[in-house]
Amino acid sequence: MLFFQRSLRTRIFLSMTLTILGASIVIALVNISQFKKEASAYHNERFLSKQNSIQQHMGYILKTTTYPIETSKLPLIFKDKIYEIKIIHKQGVYIYDLEGKPLISSNVTFLKNDNQDHYISEDILEALANSSESHYIYKFTERHKRFQSYYSYLTDASFKPLGIVRLPYIEDESFLKKEFRAYLIKMGITYLLLVGLSIILSYFLSEYITRSIKQISDKIQQTRFDKTNEKLYPKAVSQEISILINAYNDMIDELERSAAKMAMVERETAWREMAKQVAHEIKNPLTPMRLSVQNFSRRYDPSHPNSEVQVQEFAQGLIQQIDTMAAIASAFSTYADLPESSNSPINIVKATKLAVEVFDQDFITFKSNKKEIKVNIDKTQLTRVLTNLIKNSLQAIEYNQIIDPFIFVELESTAEFIRLTVKDNGGGIDEKNIDKIFEPKFTTKTSGMGLGLGMVKNIVKAYGGTIEIYNNNENGATFTLSFPNPE
């Protein structure tokens, strides 16, 4: 799922935000439902309280009347008093006999339009008679308005039923709606403020919770096998994060131990390979030297007239083989002598120009986009790199017998890199050999040991640079060396 592909901080923030919104919605729905119930209960309580007051008022009228307290006399007893009740209590009053026939009402038109519709229905009379509370509330809807009528018995002092009292009531929804809208506005503003503050708090909490984890993840991303990695020592972290940090620090220790072991193994392997190569290269001149000594000792005759010439020829042969062994030793020494960074800044333009001029060939040209480029590099190592690359181009030109040769050396300084390019038209490099060209001992020439370009790569890497090689359109090869620009 897309949610689980997001960062931990985003997931925590979204989870907290959605939880807060969900809880707010649930609480709001509960509050709305509770408000409606309480509002309805409040109005019912008010209505019942009004019924009680009217009942007491009517009871007082019955006590103080001079008419006989009988059902038939109820219209006379409440002839004027029923309007007084309506005015005082702001409530219409209808009085019926025990069979549901209308007797008197606070509504003037009630008796003038007397018909069967004004009678209390049999269902209501039965419900009232069976009510344990001696009253019955009848609810109904008409013309999209809700009504309820309160029916109760009108009794004398000895609680003998004299008639039935009906108190009609119209539920004023406009008032309820007005109260409900006001409640919603107040609750909405409150919830918006609370949700806004909660979201802001969730954002900072998610950042606080994941801060240590992000620090660990950043460190893990920066962890490299070939460099010294820093451990983490954060303050005031949770137990779970502390376990993770300890595991990371243990991993760093193990990584350093593994790196040290691997470096030692690599050095031992390199020296073994170097020893094998040195032994192999030295054996090549030793074998003809041994054969020459054996042949000379077997054929040499001091009395021979040409004995001095034979000794000289023998000595020259040995010297030639000794020079070969010296060249081998010098080549391996040069390859093994890795450069050390120098803090002395030099003008690489001038140093490169001097290295190129040593070859004194008209077809070797040099160009730079700036007159002065200051870098911290060992001048001897730079000269060694250029010498190997130019000699490699010269040997390719000579081997392929190029009629119109050229070697172009270019130095370019940009905002990010310093690039040194050596380009020739010496025939190029076979595509299958391009990936092997910098490997020690690899060579396509009949002479040499294939250590020159390997040494060049080691020097470039030691200064944080890169080297690339490709065949150009002039039927030659191009070497491009890139170093970070310190400016």
DSSP per position, 347-404: EHHHHHHHHHHTT--TTEEEEESSS--EEE--HHHHHHHHHHHHHHHHHHHHHTT-SS
Residues of the chain predicted below pLDDT 50: 4, 110-116, 339, 341, 442, 446-450
User: Does residue 85 share a domain with residue 52?
Assistant: no
Q: Give the count of beta carbons closer than 10 Å to the beta carbon of residue 73.
A: 14
pLDDT given for residue 449 in this prediction: 42
User: Does residue 133 share a domain with residue 259?
Assistant: no
Tokens at 465, concatenated? 């640079």
Cβ distance 443 to 452 under 8 Å? no
Residue 232 lies in a domain: no
User: Does residue 441 share a domain with residue 431?
Assistant: yes
User: Does residue 281 share a domain with residue 363?
Assistant: no
pLDDT given for residue 110 in this prediction: 47
Q: What are phi and psi of 114, to 5 degrees?
A: -65, 125
User: Does residue 48 share a domain with residue 24?
Assistant: yes
User: Does residue 377 share a domain with residue 324?
Assistant: no
Tokens at 307, concatenated? 């004995």
User: Does residue 184 share a domain with residue 56?
Assistant: yes
Residue 230 lies in a domain: no
Q: Is 178 exposed, middle or buried (0-12, 13-18, 19+ CB in 10 A)?
A: exposed
Q: What is the pLDDT of residues 79-120, one digit of tens each?
A: 888 888 888 888 889 999 988 899 988 876 544 444 445 788
User: Does residue 480 share a domain with residue 365?
Assistant: yes
H or E element at residue 421: strand 417-424
Would you mind telling me the total number of residues written for the chain in this entry? 487
Q: Which of residues 111, 144, 171 is at a domain's end?
A: 171
Cβ distance 169 to 147 under 8 Å? yes
pLDDT given for residue 311 in this prediction: 75
Q: What is the pLDDT of residues 5-39, one digit of tens each?
A: 556 667 777 777 788 778 878 887 887 788 777 77
User: Does residue 166 share a domain with residue 249?
Assistant: no
Residue 234 lies in a domain: no
Its domain, for residue 253, covers 239-336
CA dist., res. 86 & res. 378, Å (int)? 114
Tell me the torsion sign for CA atoms 224, 230, 236, 241.
Answer: positive
The pairing of beta strand 477-484 with beta strand 417-424: antiparallel
